[in-house]
Amino acid sequence: MSDGSSAVSLYNVGRYKRTGLIGSVNQKVRSSIDLSLAFGRMGGLSPAAGAGTWSQEGGLQSFLEERSHNVVNAAVNLKAPKTFTRVNANYGWIDGNAVIPTHVFTTQNTWISPGLNVLVRQPLPSMFGMPGHLELNADLRNLLAQGYLPVNNGTARSLMVVQAPRAIRGGLNFVF
């Protein structure tokens, strides 16, 4: 399914069911510094053994299969005491060539996204007594371009399966 404006497409991988386990440790170093480390094993999509190529007729079964993979995440969250700048940085690692959809558990504040990710948020002073405040932000995702899974289709064109594309975003938000 094409998005209509680029060479990017979305593919329905069909029924996807996985199991896994993640354990994490969080440590508050000071009131302004939090560290966390997570390790686990969970299901993801990998190139099918011996397949090597894909075709639109063959579907998911011809080039991807579900397998379990080890995952690790290390994160640091900082808050500057005087400027109230917040910096959240994390590095996520997945073993082997795999795409593992992001999980979010209600009991865990750590999620694993591949590569190096940095989020900077800077609140600005309120103006004219308005409620809320303005905030500048910079969101840098997957800076090392990790987690890209190339799949050959037997022609000059290939398919690139991407879990988390590299992205650089910024903005000005009104927080109320």
pLDDT digits (tens, 9 = 90+) for 72-93: 999 999 999 999 999 999 999 9
Residue 14: inside a domain, yes or no? no
Name the domain count of the chain.
1
At residue 97, the pLDDT reads 79
Mean pLDDT of 56-82: 80
Q: What percent of the chain clears pLDDT 70, i.e. is strictly above it?
A: 76
Residue 101: inside a domain, yes or no? yes
Which residue from 99, 106, 40 is spatially nearest to 73, judged by alpha carbons? 40
Mean pLDDT of 60-64: 60
Higher per-residue confidence, 2 vs 9: 9
Residue 141: inside a domain, yes or no? yes
Parent domain of 100? 22-175
CA atoms within 13 A on the CB side of 42: 23
Residue 17: inside a domain, yes or no? no
Reported pTM: 0.79
Residue 8: inside a domain, yes or no? no
Residue 108: inside a domain, yes or no? yes
Residue 60: inside a domain, yes or no? yes
Which residues, 6 or more positions from 130, have their beta carbon under 8 angstroms from its beta carbon? none
